[in-house]
Structure 1
Amino acid sequence: MLDSDYTQRFLFDDSDVRGEWVELERSYAEVLAKHDYPEPVAQLLGELLAAAGLLVGTLKFDGLMVLQARSSGAVPLLMVECSSEREVRGIARFDAAQVTAGATFTELMPDGVLAMTIEPANGQRYQGIVSLDGVTLAESLSSYFASSEQLPTRFWLAADGRRACGMLLQQLPADRIREPEEREASWQHLRTLADTLSAEELLGLDAQTVLHRLYHEEQVRLFEPRPIVFRCSCSRERSASAVISLGQQDAELLIEEQGGEITIDCQFCNQRYSFDAADVAQLFAGAGTEGPSDTRH
């Protein structure tokens, strides 16, 4: 039996097209448990989490991928991070007074912009930015690839506050089909069949069942699933580095202003890291991050 959180790759043997499938349940629940999100915001965040799971399977990198969507509307920020090890976390900022039941993507995020950033462990940072001009997040992500020099890619996404799922199709460089018109016809055929996929099917069926329903006349190879998990990358060490970056004089002044300790809260998981005067003195003495104060939740 498959784990509740995984990505799964598939290939069409007779076409220059590959795909990815993602299902998130436990990791999605852990992201939502950190904040009290209204249903439309929880759904939108789930879709972006699913998109990150799909994309990480198509990119060859060792490091971190960040998807960040900003807008002038009720949801000014959606942000998801997914590592090459398939460790994911996410957050949304919203104005509760503006979020109505059943609100659509375009209502929640008007005038939106999407940035995709790749931060490799070694190598040059990459970022691409595109307007969120689709009717759905999936359409906007598809437009991102259409407007860039990357491989043509289409997304299908769904989330309901309990599960977040999605499918991706990506056209590969010409190999099996080299004639341009035949190549385009094959790509359009596979996309058109995928467009018949409903949100209920995305959320209720596994990859094998969906691929058989859509492509029973095609030769499709489905690879082994790979697990994806929620994990926050915050730590006391990183928080200590932030304190050190202030400089000793400013850090000591901040302790006085804040009543005896500096507190750093992780926006993603709500973990709190506290540093009192003894901790700060130890940090600037070069003695490390393990001080008298324990991490407080």
Structure 2
Amino acid sequence: MSDNARRFCFASGPVRGEWVNLSESFHTVIRQHRYPPEKAHVLGELLCVAVLLTSTMKFEGEMTVQLETTGAISTLVAKCSHEFRIRGFMDWNREASPEAVEQSFDQGKLVVTVKGADNTILYQSMVPLEGCRVSAALEHYFVQSEQVPTRFWLVVSETQVVGLMLQRLPMKAGESAEQAEHLWEEVCHLTETVKPEELSTWDLETLIKKMYAEHDVELFESRKVWFGCTCSVERMEQAVFTLEPVESKLLMEQGGTVDVTCQYCGKSYGFDAIALKRIFAKQAKKNKKAK
């Protein structure tokens, strides 16, 4: 199965599903950072969730799902654009045990941010972490901030990440609350019966036939998911000036160089004294115009 996302809906009531499979894009992220298996597992789950949530966006922009904890994994970030371009990274204690990684989710916060095409923040919500799995943290997030009943099923193997999300949507005029609740409970129960190995190996058509045989389910077109980084010389020049202005200026005066590495793709950018002078001159010109 290629990297893709796909939506499905139930004709009998207000329940929507999103399904995603990541293989090549997932491995691209992992290879660039050489994450060990237990860390790769967690990042794979969050990348999958970012795609699932992006599938619900109705405008151009980018979804960011970020975990900040006081445990072995201090920061974990996954991003997905409306074009389904994904990227992600994590900061962690390299000496931490797999058990410590699991316990990272006991304390901290989950932040979901949506930016528009012009990079302005359209929505941001933050909730405390509860539970030691990404799926548990996300379900708690929806209970606390969205008030939309949402369930996640995530499976990560050495070769791929597969995720399924169900959401109970607001009822339309004329729909029965009792029937909607019954459908939601039934669909969630049926999904719980699927084994992890089945979720990771069956395509969506097979899953739907096996899980929801008694229901009329509408499948939507598949959308390709791909890895893509947005780093550039211009962005890294801004990082040099913004993050390390004093140190960079000192190195410029001493004829030294500054090396900046992209957190997402691992690409390194080097700026010698001449480049640093150009960066500071450009910024000084911008500041003068701003006045």
What is the TM-score normalised by the length of structure 1? 0.87
In the alignment, what sits opposite 1:270? 266
Report the number of matched residues.
282
Match of 1:112 among 102, 108, 114: 108
Taking the TM superposition and a 5 Å limit, the aligned residue runs for 1:173-252 are: 173-175=170-172, 178-245=175-242, 251-252=248-249
In the alignment, what sits opposite 2:80? 82
Question: Any idea what the Cα deviations from partners look like across 1:99-146, whole Å, max 9, x if unmatched?
Answer: 23xx48642432132111111124543211122213421122112112
Matched-pair contact (CA < 8 Å) for 1:232–1:268:
yes
Deviation at 1:93, TM superposition (A): 1.9
Question: Any idea what the Cα deviations from partners look like across 1:235-259, whole Å, max 9, x if unmatched?
Answer: 11111223344798864323346x6
Matched-pair contact (CA < 8 Å) for 2:54–2:62:
no
Matched-pair contact (CA < 8 Å) for 1:49–1:90:
yes
Matched-pair contact (CA < 8 Å) for 2:105–2:132:
no
Change (3 A) 1:27 1:132: same
Match of 2:3 among 5, 8, 32: 5
In the alignment, what sits opposite 1:161? 158
Higher helix share: 2
**In the alignment, does 2:168 pair up with 1:171?**
yes
In the alignment, what sits opposite 1:22? 20
Identity %: 38
Matched-pair contact (CA < 8 Å) for 2:251–2:273:
no
Amino acid at match of 1:229: W
In the alignment, what sits opposite 1:131? 128
Deviation at 1:230, TM superposition (A): 0.6
Deviation at 1:232, TM superposition (A): 1.1
Structure 1 stretches of 4+ with a deviation exceeding 6 A read 246-250
Q: How well do the aligned residues superpose, as a CA RMSD in angstroms?
A: 2.3
In the alignment, what sits opposite 2:287? none
Deviation at 1:36, TM superposition (A): 2.4
Query: More deviation in 118-127 or 183-192?
Result: 118-127
Change (3 A) 1:105 1:10: farther
Deviation at 1:96, TM superposition (A): 2.9
Deviation at 1:176, TM superposition (A): 7.2
Query: More deviation in 128-137 or 52-61?
Result: 128-137
Question: Any idea what the Cα deviations from partners look like across 1:67-120, whole Å, max 9, x if unmatched?
Answer: 1112222222211111111110111222232223xx486424321321111111
Query: More deviation in 225-234 or 168-177?
Result: 168-177
Amino acid at match of 2:207: V
* SS of equivalent residue, structure 1 residue 233: coil
C-alpha distance in 2, partners of 1:32/1:118? 24
Change (3 A) 1:189 1:161: same
In the alignment, what sits opposite 1:60? 58
C-alpha distance in 2, partners of 1:104/1:164? 22
Deviation at 1:148, TM superposition (A): 1.7
C-alpha distance in 1, partners of 2:31/2:70? 26
C-alpha distance in 2, partners of 1:196/1:176? 32
Change (3 A) 1:145 1:105: farther
C-alpha distance in 1, partners of 2:8/2:165? 10
What is the TM-score normalised by the length of structure 2? 0.89
Flag structure 2 segments of 5+ consecutive residues without an equivalent.
284-291
Flag structure 1 segments of 5+ consecutive residues without an equivalent.
288-297
Amino acid at match of 1:42: A
